[in-house]
Amino acid sequence: MRKQVAIILLLLTTTCATWAVDFRAVGPSQVPANQPFQIQYIIDEKADDIQPPSMPGFELLAGPFTSTSSSFSFINGKRTSTYQKTFTYTYLVSKPGTYNIGAATITSGGRKYRSNGLKITVVREEAQTQPSSSSSREERQERASRREERAPETNIFIRTILSKSHVREQEPLTLSYKLYFIGADNVQLAGVTKMPDFTGFLKQESDNEPLQAHIETYNGRQYNVATIYKVLLYPQHSGDIQITPATFEVVYTIPGAGQDPFGQLYGYQAHKTLKAPAVTVNVDGLPQENKPKQFSGGVGHFTMTPTLSATELSANEPVTLRLDITGTGNMKLIKTPEVNWPEGFDVYDPKVSNSYQNTDDGSTGTKSIEYLAIPREPGDYTLPPVTLSYYDSETGDYRTLSTPSYQLHIKRAQKTHDGGQVSDYSQEDIKQLATDIRYIHTAELPETEDGAARPSSVRTGTAAWLACYLVPLLIAIIVLILLRKYIRENADLTQVRYRRANKVARKRLKSAKQLLEAGQAAAFYEEIERAAVSYLSDRLTIPTAELTKETIGDQLRSRGVADDLIQETQDVLSEAEFARYAPSAQQDMQAMYSRTEALINHLEDQKI
């Protein structure tokens, strides 16, 4: 009995797992001969590798066109979401008759699914109703009127949103590009044609998530809204700084916009170029009045917590001062405070670790700094306060954070096992003393056997004796010549970057290959984009901040590069950038890697 129950439960579980993914075929039941029509395969999970059925007598005109859609709703405080991916094929049949179309297959989550079959009747063209009377004309007008009523108004545009339009110098702000649409389905970002260069700002990329639409009211109307790009900006000077427009490409479906010969409404795909308007940020300079001399460059709101490892210790024992700077603002730009250790302390470079994340108000989290010092002499010392000055954007004035003054009592170092006392040397110094001091031999050299000559190694005037002087001199001259050549070749940093461009690009491609094998798509596309951009920046001797598609095209054209290779260069950069910021539309990673590697090889062959 138990065995039978287990088998039934297994069958139910397998059946439920099969039902969990809905994969279906949708198409018209009747179509006219020699007229295009569409068949759609719809699945409610992320899937690829669709295999349509064999369809003798059907001519494939286009497809598959892939589109995705997602929706979100809140009912009684509960959030629900749906996802669909659609593969659209356009066919044409010339021979009338009834056709049975088999099932398509698709792979999702490592499992294969089958769709339903379709039965389509193809009728002769003359079998269609040919309206000729005035009543037929009125009927067509009435159907067109009903179609216009059912087809929603399509409105789609992009807004440039600033978290703040009036800030202080170095005060962080967030810029977002938001896509607003209504009366459109399956809206997708198809490409980034142009992005601002953000001149006058220090840019810090935010973590751009896949497109997720939500409802938002704008100018009294409700729109579906999705954030397509977000970046954190730090203004570097005062004045009005303009952020130039950005241009994006989108594709979408207009539902109910067409009518087939049988009066059924259907949607069609549309493409549109959208321009995000330019915006201006008004930046006020930091006030000079009451500005502390030790101002660290920080803008925001911060606190500082000090921790001292010990106040009583022996000479040659390390002491550590840790500062935890916590808050929100331009934390990445805060300078490391200076610690004035007492004289007689060996001081080491501080160790800095950051733990913060980007928000609309800047970076928030903690910056930890550890200072290490070793006292060498016993005595009582005073460690003066460590200060951190910043501009508080909340109160509009300068503030100075300070640690307390610490009193350090340094005891004599422990005695060694031979009774001596060590106070001026570190443990490393003591170990070295045992190996680097040798006694000078003051006695006469030992006598040789009767009549035997002294070894040639101690005789002067011989060839070996001369070689001991000439060989090191010759080596020194060769090293000096090579060193001067190396310094001369590396004096021009631009030429150094030019020569090393291919090597650096290959190194980045190798890293991208590892990310590809690990399946880390976001990091892979970021590394691919960096490989192409850094290579072009070094080869064309153009700073990365000034590298645009227009300047790349002009520079390559001036160096005799063919137009098709220039177009391929711009396409690779566009697709890498698009795949990085729009993960939902990413292409095949292996194909992207091969394409980028081939592009760099072709550019190397051109010797730009």
Considering the chain, what percentage of its residues have pLDDT values greater than 70? 75
Name the nearest CA neighbour of 326 among 364, 360, 299, 277: 364
350 in Cβ contact with 368 (< 8 Å): no
122 in Cβ contact with 96 (< 8 Å): yes
Residue 475's identity, in one-letter code, is I
Place of tokens 């000055």: 389
Place of tokens 């790349």: 552
Residue 157's pLDDT is what?
A: 93
User: 272 has which bridge partners?
Assistant: 250
Residue 446's pLDDT is what?
A: 59
Helices (H), 127-172: 134-150
218 in Cβ contact with 167 (< 8 Å): no
CA separation (Å) from 9 to 20, 111, 300, 523?
Answer: 16, 21, 60, 42
pLDDT at 584 over 90: no
Cβ neighbours, 10 Å, residue 383 = 21
- Domain 155-284 falls under CATH 2.60.40: yes
Return the biggest CA–CA distance within the chain.
142
CA gap 216, 171 in Å, rounded: 28
| Residues contacting residue 254 through CB under 8 Å, at least 6 positions apart | 151, 154, 183, 184, 185, 267, 268, 270
Strands laid side by side in the 185-194 sheet: 185-194, 246-259, 265-276
Indicate the burial class of 552 (C-beta count within 10 angstroms; 0-12, 13-18, 19 or more). buried
> How high is the mean pLDDT of the chain?
78
382 in Cβ contact with 345 (< 8 Å): no
Span(s) in the chain for CATH 2.60.40.740:
19-128, 304-411
CATH architecture for residues 19-128 = Sandwich (2.60)
The listed range with the strongest mean pLDDT (17-26, 252-261, 450-459, 472-481) is 472-481
Residue 538's pLDDT is what?
A: 82
Name the nearest CA neighbour of 563 among 574, 575, 554: 554
Residue 540's pLDDT is what?
A: 81
Cβ neighbours, 10 Å, residue 113 = 21
Residue 306's pLDDT is what?
A: 95
- 568-572 CB contacts, 8 Å cutoff, 24+ apart: 568/599, 568/602, 569/532, 569/536, 569/599, 569/603, 572/532, 572/596, 572/599
* Mean pLDDT in residue range 6-22: 51
* Mean pLDDT in residue range 113-135: 68
Name the nearest CA neighbour of 324 among 388, 368, 372: 368
Cβ neighbours, 10 Å, residue 527 = 23
Pairing of strands 185-194, 246-259: antiparallel
Name the nearest CA neighbour of 346 among 455, 238, 425: 425
Instruction: Please write the tens of the pLDDT for every residue from 523-565.
Output: 888 888 888 888 888 888 888 777 787 888 888 888 888 888 8
Which two three-digit tokens encode residue 359? Answer: 């928000």
Pairing of strands 37-43, 58-75: unpaired
CA gap 289, 192 in Å, rounded: 44
Q: Is the peptide bond before 350 cis (omega within 30 degrees of 0)?
A: no
CA gap 454, 458 in Å, rounded: 7
Instruction: Please write the tens of the pLDDT for every residue from 226-274.
Output: 888 888 898 988 899 999 999 988 888 877 555 544 444 455 677 888 9
Which two three-digit tokens encode residue 420? Answer: 């001596």
Residue 250's identity, in one-letter code, is V
Name the nearest CA neighbour of 118 among 33, 65, 41: 41
Span(s) in the chain for CATH 1.20.120:
493-606
159 in Cβ contact with 191 (< 8 Å): no
CB burial string 429-468: b at 16+ within 10 A, e below: eeeeeeeeeeeeeeeeeeeeeeeeeeeeeeeeeeeeeeee
| Residues contacting residue 555 through CB under 8 Å, at least 6 positions apart | 540, 542
DSSP codes, 23-65: EEEE--SEEETT--EEEEEEESS--EEEEPPP-TTEEEEEEEE
Confidence of residue 275 (pLDDT cuts 50, 70, 90): very high
Rounded to two decimals, the pTM is 0.43
Residue 344's pLDDT is what?
A: 87
Residue 125's pLDDT is what?
A: 66
541 in Cβ contact with 497 (< 8 Å): yes
Residue 560's identity, in one-letter code, is G
The more confidently predicted of residues 297 and 444 is 297
CA gap 1, 302 in Å, rounded: 69
Residue 478's pLDDT is what?
A: 92
Residue 190's pLDDT is what?
A: 77
Residue 264's pLDDT is what?
A: 47
Which two three-digit tokens encode residue 270? Answer: 């549309």
* Mean pLDDT in residue range 381-401: 90
pLDDT at 116 over 80: yes
Instruction: Please write the tens of the pLDDT for every residue from 149-205.
Output: 444 567 899 999 998 889 888 888 999 999 998 888 778 877 788 889 888 888 887
608 in Cβ contact with 601 (< 8 Å): no
Cβ neighbours, 10 Å, residue 344 = 16
Considering just the CA atoms, what is the radius of gyration of the chain in Å? 37
The listed range with the strongest mean pLDDT (295-304, 398-407, 413-422) is 398-407
| Residues contacting residue 212 through CB under 8 Å, at least 6 positions apart | 70, 72, 226
| Residues contacting residue 404 through CB under 8 Å, at least 6 positions apart | 306, 385
DSSP 8-state symbol, 338: P
The more confidently predicted of residues 178 and 459 is 178
Quick check: helix, strand or coil at residue 375?
Answer: strand
276 in Cβ contact with 159 (< 8 Å): yes
Quick check: helix, strand or coil at residue 422?
Answer: coil
- Domain 304-411 falls under CATH 3.40.50.1360: no
**From start to end of 406-565, where are the E strands?**
406-411
Instruction: Please write the tens of the pLDDT for every residue from 51-82.
Output: 888 888 888 877 777 777 655 444 444 545 56
* Mean pLDDT in residue range 276-296: 88
- Domain 493-606 falls under CATH 1.10.730: no
